[in-house]
Amino acid sequence: MRLLKLVPDNTNIDFVRLRGWAFGLTLALTLLAVGVTFAKGLNLGVDFVGGLMIEEKFPTPPSADRVRSVIDGLGVGEANIQAVGDGRTVSIRLPVPKSNDEGATNAVVRKVETALGQQFPGATFSRYDTVSGKVSGELIKHGVLAVVLAILGIGLFAIFRFEWQFGVSTIVAIVHDLLVTLGFFAITQFELDLTIIAAFLTIIGYSINDKIVIDDRIRENMRRYRKMDMREIINLSVNETLPRTVMTSVTILLALIALLLLGGHVLRGFTAAMILGIVVGTYSSIYVSSSLLITLGLRAEPNREKPGTTDKRKVADAERITPRES
């Protein structure tokens, strides 16, 4: 039985040769993502902005203006209407009732549900969430803090585990991965909530796992081939770990694509973030993080062995391999 090989044996791709193009593409994608995020903004969920979010499912995609007119006639505050998925599910965001208790919230939900059921026969209530403004502010602070601390912790680990160049290149690659994913959410206007923050942290975890494997192989080859050029060492290391990188990414993507197609609209934002993060993280691990080590001035460790030590070691190894004749 032949084993499946996504990457042929003895693959020898000159990844470093394309580092100029890779750095340019990385910079362009990062600037584009930041610009789109500031221009269009993010569709923050109830977790971050506070309020009452109600989901209603309709037999056919309804008119957003008609749904808004029905809600406005109830006197429950200004409604923000957004279609989800195939358009039959509508997200209705309302301000939290002034009394801010469970009874008042349930009354608003029942009022909205009843009115929509009368105007749109066959409409069914899906779910609702409510978060106060104070709690949403704390969630934003804690979510951003969790992402920042994760990036800094990973960078410090790489610095102490390897060299400072590895830490800097890892932080640059991870920040690029997250900013591109954030720009994707600005373009698609998927709702950004705590679930997406969990996706960001998962992307960081995957990216560091992939990068540490490559970095460890680079350091190992730096010690093994002390006289080899750094460009050749990085190409050799990336090619040696390429089968593992590609196989890991493909198997994860297969599971995520199945989740995207069958998981429903509730998980669509999380799954889309994970898929993009895996693709971008694999690209940055191969083309950005490793090649950036050359720009940062990483060099192979010099040979500090005393004169004659290497020759004696070779003689000893030869004697162990070929026994002396008696």
Residue 111 is assigned to a structural domain of this protein: yes
Q: What is the CATH number of the domain that holds 89?
A: 3.30.70.600
Q: Are 252 and 289 in contact (CB under 8 A)?
A: no
Q: Which residues pair with 84 in a beta bridge?
A: 89
Question: Residue 194: how many CB atoms within 10 A of its CB?
Answer: 16
- Note the pLDDT of residue 4: 61
> Do 125 and 74 have their domain in common?
yes
- Residue 249 sits in a domain of what CATH number? 1.20.1640.10
Indicate whether 144 and 259 sit together in one domain: yes
Predicted pLDDT at 319 = 45
Residue where a domain stops, chosen among 131, 150, 171: 131
Contact between 175 and 186 under an 8 Å Cβ cutoff? The reply is no
What is the separation, in whole angstroms, between the first and last Cα of the chain? 47
Number of other residues whose CB lies within 10 A of the CB of residue 321: 7
Note whether residue 309 is domain-resident.
Answer: no
What per-residue confidence (pLDDT) applies to 31? 92
* Per-residue pLDDT, 267: 76
> According to the model, what pLDDT value does residue 141 have?
77
In a domain, 314, yes or no: no
Q: Is residue 61 part of a domain?
A: yes
Indicate whether 30 and 177 sit together in one domain: yes
- pLDDT tens series, the chain, 326 aa: 455 666 666 777 788 888 888 888 889 989 999 999 898 888 877 667 667 778 888 888 788 788 888 887 877 777 777 777 677 888 877 777 666 566 777 787 788 888 888 888 888 877 777 766 555 667 777 777 888 888 788 778 878 877 888 888 888 888 888 889 889 888 888 878 778 888 888 888 888 888 888 888 888 888 888 778 888 888 888 888 888 888 888 888 888 888 888 776 667 888 888 888 888 888 888 888 888 888 887 776 654 444 444 444 444 444 444 444 43
Q: Is 279 exposed, middle or buried (0-12, 13-18, 19+ CB in 10 A)?
A: middle
Three-state SS sequence of the chain: CCCCCCCCCCCCCCCHHHHHHHHHHHHHHHHHHHHHHHHHCCEECHHHHCEEEEEEECCCCCCHHHHHHHHHCCCCCCCEEEEECCCCEEEEEECCCCCCCHHHHHHHHHHHHHHHHHHCCCCEEEEEEEECHHHHHHHHHHHHHHHHHHHHHHHHHHHHHCCHHHHHHHHHHHHHHHHHHHHHHHHHCCEECHHHHHHHHHHHHHHHHHHHHHHHHHHHHHHHCCCCCHHHHHHHHHHHHHHHHHHHHHHHHHHHHHHHHHCCHHHHHHHHHHHHHHHHHHHHHHHHHHHHHHHCCCCCCCCCCCCCHHHHHHHHHHHHHCCCCC
150 plus 268 within the same structural domain: yes
Print the domain residue range for 201.
16-42+136-296
Rounded distance between C-alpha atoms, residue 66 and residue 116, angstroms? 10
Structure confidence at residue 35 (pLDDT): 92
Same domain, 27 and 158: yes
CA distance 31 to 175: 12
* pLDDT of res. 301: 60
Asked whether residue 5 is domain-assigned, the answer is no
Rounded to whole angstroms, the Cα distance separating 32 from 34 reads 6
For residues 156 and 263, membership in a common domain is answered with yes
- Looking at the fold, whether 283 and 153 belong to one and the same domain comes out as yes
Q: Does any domain span residue 315?
A: no
Quickly tell me which residue has 């209705």 as its tokens: 92
Is 308 part of a structural domain of the chain? Answer: no
Which of 115, 131, 147 is a domain's end point? 131
Same domain as 194, residue 55 = no
CA–CA separation, 18 and 273 (whole Å): 27
Indicate whether 72 and 202 sit together in one domain.
no
Q: How far apart are CA 32 and CA 167, in angstroms?
A: 25
57 and 106 in a single domain? The answer is: yes
Question: pLDDT digit string (tens) for 116-163?
Answer: 888 888 888 777 777 665 556 677 777 778 888 887 887 788 788 778
Domain count, the chain: 2
Judgement on whether residues 38 and 56 belong to the same structural domain of the protein: no
Residue 32 pLDDT: 92
Q: What is the pTM of this model?
A: 0.69
- Predicted confidence at residue 306, as pLDDT, reads 45
Domain boundary among 86, 106, 131: 131
Q: Is residue 312 in a domain? A: no
Longest dimension (CA), the chain: 106
113 plus 140 within the same structural domain: no
